[in-house]
Structure 1
Amino acid sequence: MSVVPEDLRGELEADPRTGEIVARLEEELGAAGDSAALERVRVSFLGRKGRVTALLQGLRDLPPQERRELGRLANLLKSFLEKELARRAEQLRDREMEEELRRERLDITLPGRHIPLGSRHLLSSIIEEIEDIFLGLGYQVAEGPEVELDYYNFEALNTPEWHPSKSLQDTFYVEVPGADYRDVLLRTHTSPVQVRVMESTPPPVYVIAPGKAYRHDVPDATHSPMFHQVEGLAVDEGISMADLKGTLETFARRMFGEDRQVRFRPHFFPFTEPSAEVDVSCNMCGGGGCRVCKGTGWLEILGAGMVDPNVFGYVGYDPERYTGFAFGMGVERIALLKYGVPDIRLFFDNHLGLLEQY
């Protein structure tokens, strides 16, 4: 079977020089049965010393009329050969691929294995949701060490030496060579981050501090020795309890629903005065009373208060000029209340039935 189409072949054979190349091309291209042989044909005709290349280079020595006609034929031959080589190369690649697949005996009709996609853990999602709410209110996210000094965890937060939270029954202390046995501990809240921020940043300050905290609790449905907190701090001129109330009402309704009612109850924390615990109306019963809210119609979500002036004394803030508020919430508790999870331990057990729901 002829390699060169009949009409083109007839035109090229009109000149013995291109006719000779066509004859050699028919012979060599017809015998090229693999990619290596096809490459040898390309080099033989189109390479630096190939037949077609030599013919084109010799045109400069011919008379104008002859050069014009032979140049036309040579370029027709070159154009055909380039296209034909590309076409045959693609055919050979396809054929070689088919042969390789047959050798490997792959059954490409078998269905692939389903690889289930992972997703964000519920606690990670809750932390991100809390961050998004407060970032929208102009806060920044701050972080600090989990192995902390007693000074930042207790002393600079106005916690007296005799306070029960400093006992071995409530706090994990870390043995460090050369340090007093109660100088270093696993932080019991993320409030130390607030102290570190105030030490390094002049007012105004608006930060939240998400992270892990540790307490000497026996694991049960609502307690864990390791848990997650998000604490917040706002310090500026003229901040009042009304600002605290407005901020936390905004947070509570964005987190639990715009129809939630919010209430503040008096409480005590060493580093805030006045202090309060904040509740939202139960999302299970709408405030009517149920097992989840223990018949009260309310769910406690966080603690808060106005920063005690003594705390400002530790960080060099002028309590006559600046006021501020602080708040803190347990991430696991927020997740328990928002989604009705019955046991905090499910968050840490890799309970697939729970994780697949969120």
Structure 2
Amino acid sequence: MEDSVTARLLDWYDKCARVLPWRSPPGTPAPDPYRVWLSEVMLQQTTVAAVIAYFTKFTERWPSIAALAAAPEEEIMAAWAGLGYYSRARNLVACARAVMERGGFPESESELRALPGLGAYTAAAVAAIAFGRRAVVVDANVERVVARLFAIDEPLPGARKAIRYHADSITPQSRSGDFAQAMMDLGATICTAREPRCLLCPLTSDCAARAGGEPARFPVKAPKKARPERHGTAYWIMREGQVWLVRRPGKGLLGGMRALPDDNWTARSDGHGTTPLDGTWRRGGVVQHGFTHFSLHLSLALYDGAQWAALDSRHGEWWPLDRLDDAGLPTVFAKAARLALVGETE
């Protein structure tokens, strides 16, 4: 089974591979490791559709690992704004500089794992796709394909050991990068989470889940826990066409990003989260935003006072409203800013 699965999948990939800006077409030289690594970091828990524009923007602005490593961290963080999971951006900076210090990307999976921010999946993907090394690459799409192909009944996350074992059994010695990308493409376009298109799948004849008549049941997932809710307040302070922004601490949620000052809803007591001024406040509405592990209801308070001298430039900066898009606000604070601007014009 293993050899026939591999051969048919690669044959399908040669004809049906997705055209993506970080890829080389099947049968052509491997892409630049920088582009593979950058795309894989961006694609973690993020859709291809969302990543394409960011990848294009990053590679136009920083076309090489050397250019990215030399860039100021705050510029990279601002360019990342809206892509989410901001620890990835911090790791991106650290990894780029580590790669330059060692003179380039290592080729082996184990050495790649030693770089900042590279977990098992990303290291395997870079080793296979950029360097042609045999590596077992398992993302969410591959996980779904393998769970169905072998009808793995154990619920996630416990099933991941069995999924990796079976993924290893069908990963070829040669063309492992193409094989990994073929599995990703199959999961993204045919073996989808809902309503898999089994009649178009090159592996239908070998698929145990299809034979059992319930392919969409796999992978089996444990019941989801309800996400807790948090409540907080963000403050909108304006003067002369400028808004007061703070820099969040380097570690933790939205670390290192510019933001509106808030009331410490993230439970970090480092000064950015205190009510910035005494004076008159009025309600500006509520923003709702979902994070991975909780939902946030963020109330907006609009400042009507004039206590500007109390704001300390060591903890923030006045940012021109006409350049607010360049501040790189995380999505939750960008939502709050849009709501505040509506309130200021009413």
TM bracket, shorter-chain basis: under 0.3
Compute the TM-score of the two structures, normalised by the length of structure 2.
Answer: 0.20
Compute the TM-score of the two structures, normalised by the length of structure 1.
Answer: 0.20
Q: Which has the larger radius of gyration?
A: 1
**Structure with bigger RCO (C-alpha 8 Å, 6+ apart):** 2
